[in-house]
Amino acid sequence: MARRETALQAAQIQLRELIGSEFQSGDKLPNERELADRLAVSRATVREVLGQLAAEGVLTRTWGVGTFVREPAERVPVSISDVTALRDRITASGHSPALQDAAVSRTACPDDCAKVLGLTPGDPVWRVDRLFAVDGVAAAWIRDHLPLSVGGRDLDPSGLLSIDHDMFEFLAGATGMPVRRAEIEFAAVLADEESVERLGVPLGHPLVNATQIGYTAEELALFHGHITVRTDVLTLRITRAG
């Protein structure tokens, strides 16, 4: 099963590259037999990959007519140059944000965030899991970890189950120490089974994963999180002032 999924992922990547290099919006693709020959895969694999790309909106398939490259859907540009709520960034772009799903739980601190938060791996922390949508389409899956208390103040992140409450706003009010700097590191990834379930994309769909750490003015880390973004829905923009 794993080998078959890997083959499908490889074929999808090849077909995406072929479309990007040789075809434009509105162009008709070669038939399944020709594509199978060019990609050195079976027609069944080509048919499945074409179906995946059609489901994503990359292609349009019309029975008896053919398969065509679709006009790209409008993507929402989101600036990450300042410490601002994702909700407000999306709204500022003229689109409608929504919180499709959210959960808060106590869990064991993962190794990757324990050092950042000054904890021992396995110590209890808060996990805040949120799924943001843009104009009704799942766009960003965010998993944040917070200490149970900061500066002697117990944290209760249950308010983050509402889109009306943002992480930065919550931390400023709960700790009295606003987040002054967000450090973000990006990596290109392919959708795994969790991402498929949360973001509604096919297995192997290209995504961007960002690791984010929020610091106070005194360089105290208040949270550590992972953001997985559908770049066919959101574009991330960084602006540097000289």
Q: Which tokens hold the place of 32? A: 């399944």
Q: Which tokens hold the place of 236? A: 């991330």
Tell me which DSSP letter residue 59 carries: E
Residue 242 lies in a domain: no
**CATH number of the domain within which 52 lies:** 1.10.10.10
Domain that holds residue 190: 76-237
* Lowest-confidence segment of 63-72, 102-111, 113-122 by average pLDDT: 63-72
Final residue of a structural domain among 69, 97, 119: 69
pLDDT digits (tens, 9 = 90+) for 163-211: 888 888 899 999 999 888 888 889 999 999 999 999 988 888 889 998 9
pLDDT digits (tens, 9 = 90+) for 50-80: 887 876 678 888 777 889 888 765 565 555 4
Tell me which DSSP letter residue 233 carries: T
In the chain, the number of structural domains is 2
